[in-house]
Amino acid sequence: MRGQTLAALLVVVLIIAIVAAFIYLSQHTQSPQQRSQQAQTTYGAALQRAKEVECMNNLHQIRQAVQMFVAEQGNNPPNLQSVRFPTGIHPICPIAKVPYTYDPTTGKVMCPQHPRF
């Protein structure tokens, strides 16, 4: 019984060592330039995603402010400037630096650069 447990443990350790060797070799076969490019791409993608999340958050907050205006006044605001926004929220897309579009007839606020939001 003890021999089987020891053999199983050795097999697991051997498998882990082989996987670690593959990972180590794959990391060190890339040139520093390739690693730097991959890091920049990853950083750029993360930064882009963060700005998209900020845009979605801005739109959500602005839409809530429009809904509160409608609840108080009984109609859609004539423009976004007449709505009181929460602190730190601006009616400008953080990625494209263009104002959000607003339709006073429907009360919809959209980002011109990100129509899916």
For residue 99, being part of any structural domain is answered with yes
In a domain, 65, yes or no: yes
Lowest mean pLDDT among 30-34, 57-61, 74-78, 113-117: 30-34
Domain membership of residue 23 (yes or no) is: no
In a domain, 114, yes or no: yes
Is residue 8 assigned to a domain? no
Q: What is the mean pLDDT of residues 44-71?
A: 88
- Is residue 103 scored above 80 in pLDDT? yes
pTM, two decimals, is 0.60
Tell me if residue 108 falls in helix, strand or coil.
strand
Contacting residues for 55 by C-beta, under 8 A, at least 6 apart: 93, 94, 95, 111, 113, 114, 117
Based on the structure, what is the number of domains in the chain?
Answer: 1
Provide the residue range defining the domain that includes 72.
41-117
* 33 within domain boundaries: no
- For 30, residues 6+ apart whose C-beta sits below 8 A from its C-beta are 38
Q: What residues pair up with 99 in beta bridges, in sequence order?
A: 92
Position 73 in a domain: yes
Query: Looking at the domain assignment, is residue 36 inside a domain?
Result: no
